[in-house]
Structure 1
Amino acid sequence: MLGVSMAVARAAAVSLRLPLYAYLGGPTARRLPVPMMNVINGGRHAGNKLDFQEFMIVPHGAPSFSEAIRYGVETFKALKKGLERRGLPTTVGDEGGFAPDLESNEKACELIVEAITLAGFTPGRDIAIALDPAASSFFSNGAYNLASGEQFSREDMLDLYARWVKAYPIVSIEDGFDEADWDGYVAQTAAIGDRIQIVGDDNYVTNPKFIAEGIRCKATNAVLIKLNQISAP
């Protein structure tokens, strides 16, 4: 389905003598989205003690897409130097981010803020942080079970995210709750959805019916669309 869809889009663009971006984005399409770059891996994507799956950087202060890539590359290199200075490994996880064995999830945010500064940028103004906890991966028996042995309730997770948003330049949180914990998503969006992007992925799985339900109950204010992913209701 995905291959046919891509081929049809390209064929339609050619038939109209338009570049693909103009066919997909319309006549006013001029800008690419701000990239989100995975720099520290945890969870099932890495063999370390981090519970959260992805810690990303978002170079939203860059004046162009090419400059955003440069911001990201320079910060990634600064992060590597910071890890090496601490004697931590700089091997990467499944999705290209470093996979150090840190003492806590919060330490990853601290290291990223340090790397942004070392690269010569201002945290929050030039480069921000995005999280993908993939909370379904550590949720069982009604609780969020961390590698530290702690068990967090939905309310505990809400408090943790709210505290981190105040302490670090976080602009996006994806899959902060279990895929079936819709009340968690709704509560988080109501609490801090006016300040950051609350992204649904595992709870929507690119299924139009689930996305419509998310819109109806205001579960998130953003959705991740994967053209090669859909789950039946």
Structure 2
Amino acid sequence: MPIKLINARQIFDSCGVPTVEVDMVTELGLFRVGVPSTDLKKLHEAVPLRDNDPQLYQGQGITKAITMINSIIAPELIKMGFEVTQQRDIDNFLLTLDATEDRSRLGANSILVVSLVVAKAASAKKGTPLYRHISDLAEVKYIMLPVPHFTILVGGILSSNNLPFQEYLVLPVGAPSYTEAMRIGTEFYIYVKNLIEGKFGIERTYVADNGGFTAPFEDHKEAMIFLNTAIRQCALQGKLMIGLNAAASFFYKDGAYDINFKNPNSNPQEYLSAEQLCEFYLDDMREFPLVSVEDPFDNEDWEAWSNITMRTTNQILASDLIQTNLQQVGLLLEKKAANSVTLRLSQCATLTEMLDIFRTLVNNRLGVVVMDRLGDTDDTFIADMVVGLGACQLKAGAPHHSERIGKYNQILRIEEELGPLAKYAGKNYRPGPEATQKKKK
């Protein structure tokens, strides 16, 4: 089933920034995918192609990327006559066509959107759901519904409050099913909204782009006590756990950590050493139901990462440290710097690259969290991807905003389709190596 037509267009992400969408036509019809925009290009990510014209969209236009797809990628790929089921061959061809190490000629966004729409068309050719097709590509031997990470409170650089860390999340690990996890998470989110209205006033229930509340908490301890109290008031002890996205690189200064960085007069004498910040997290784990900390240290502070990973069995999640880059994963494995890693499609250029990283993580017994992007779209590809990979965790923001809730809703549909075969990861959100040996159902 060769490709008949490929056409790219500009759409807008959830922040109103231009991004790329592609239609692909085969004999079975039209298939469409839109890719996330990138909120901030990080060092080890593949490079998206932007116009850099300050007169249009503050330089964030993507007409160059569209031209690359419609004028170069489309005719060259169609000319090759690939079957859409040849994912690795197609992805390798796209990378060869780009011929740069960082994917900057054609643009990671241009390459990725074509790679993903190929997978969608291939699932139709096989007559299988997208998540099943991804499972086949990844050679995964199990299907699992993920634990959602719901953003509840927002701080750090995402808010003007005094919270040092970017996200305060809850994980419904004690739910018996994905449907129940959604019920617990959404009810808790609404309960917290009402608490914030009562505590700070209705005008303080603003939400950030990821749906988390930007309430004016005075410090981290107050926010943690607030969340823990709310969990108890809802009788969800043991069912709902807390996660943090520290995003520590944003308050790393001169070899130390300034958790009071929003104060322009913060005292350098009060900055925390890596060891002191490690104890800070470990104390939280002892006092609160904190089970996951994302990006607890700066991206170059490898020793600190290795230290905390050695000292806790809770999840130490590497996101900005790795940036879905295979070389960075190799460094992490060498230094034993985390026990879980995030996968973000927009950080690499092809589905095949992401699958190769996934296999490396699973083979080395690391947990996997599939994650969305700040500038996401209403496309639900990652919902099928997280199920197909059996990755067991999905971080897609709060149960708020359609581009986020749409991904959670897609997994509800998959759960319904699986029926009695549906299995929710729950407390096994970081499965051991034996999970990869289970027979696929």
Both structures adopt the same fold (TM-score exceeding 0.5): yes
Deviation at 1:144, TM superposition (A): 0.7
Quickly say closer, same or farther: Cα 1:180–1:221, change in 2 above 3 A: same
Select the residue among 273, 279, 297 that pairs with 1:159. 279
**C-alpha distance in structure 2 between counterparts of 1:110 and 1:94, whole Å:** 24
Distance 1:77 1:119, change over 3 A: farther
Aligned equivalent of 1:44: 157
Say yes or no: does 1:17 pair with 2:161: no
Q: Is the 8 A contact 1:79 1:111 kept in 2?
A: no
Note if 1:217 corresponds to 2:335.
yes
Q: What is aligned with 2:208? A: 93
What displacement does 1:45 show? 1.0
Aligned equivalents of 1:205, 1:140: Cα separation in 2: 22
Question: Larger deviation: 165-174 or 113-122?
Answer: 113-122
Q: Which amino acid aligns with 1:84?
A: E
Rounded Cα–Cα distance in structure 2 between residues aligned with 1:77 and 1:225:
28
The residue number in structure 2 matching 1:198 is 316
Residues 4-36 of structure 1 deviation map (CA, whole Å, 9 limit, x = unaligned): 121121122222221111112247544321000
Percent identity, aligned pairs only, is: 34
CA distance in 1, matches of 2:194, 2:158: 22
Identify the structure with bigger relative contact order (alpha carbons < 8 Å, sequence gap 6+): 2
User: Which of 325, 329, 341 pairs up with 1:207?
Assistant: 325
Question: Hey, what does 1:77 align to over in structure 2?
Answer: 190
Pairwise CA distance, 1:117: 2.3
**C-alpha contact (below 8 Å) 1:132/1:175 kept by paired residues:** yes
Quick one: which of 222, 226, 230 aligns to 1:107? 222
* Contact 2:324–2:348 under 8 Å retained in 1: yes
The within-5 A match list for 1:125-136 is 125-136=238-249
Matched, 1:137 2:137: no
Report whether the alignment pairs 1:56 with 2:174: no
CA distance in 2, matches of 1:100, 1:207: 34
Distance in 1 of aligned mates of 2:142 and 2:124: 17
CA RMSD in angstroms comes to 1.7
Instruction: Mark the CA change 1:230 to 1:16 in structure 2 (over 3 Å): closer, same or farther.
Output: closer
Higher mean Cα deviation, 108-117 or 144-153?
144-153
Tell me the distance in 1 between the aligned counterparts of 2:133 and 2:160. 42
CA offset at residue 98 of structure 1? 0.7
**d(CA) in 1 for partners of 2:115, 2:340:** 23
2:180 paired with 1:67: yes
> Is this contact kept in 2: 1:82–1:111, CA < 8 A?
no
The 5-angstrom pairing of residues 117-128 of structure 1 reads 117-122=232-237, 125-128=238-241
Query: Match of 2:107?
Result: none
Greater CA drift, 105-114 or 83-92: 83-92
Distance 1:230 1:117 in 2: 41
Please give the alpha-carbon distance, in whole angstroms, between the structure 2 residues aligned to 1:165 and 1:223.
20
1:169 aligns with 2:269: no
In structure 2, how many angstroms separate the alpha carbons of the residues matched to 1:73 and 1:117?
A: 16
Number of matched pairs: 227
For the Cα contact (< 8 Å) 1:78–1:118, is it kept in 2? no
Residue aligning to 1:189: 309
Do the aligned residues in 2 keep the contact of 1:45 with 1:95 (CA within 8 Å)? Answer: no
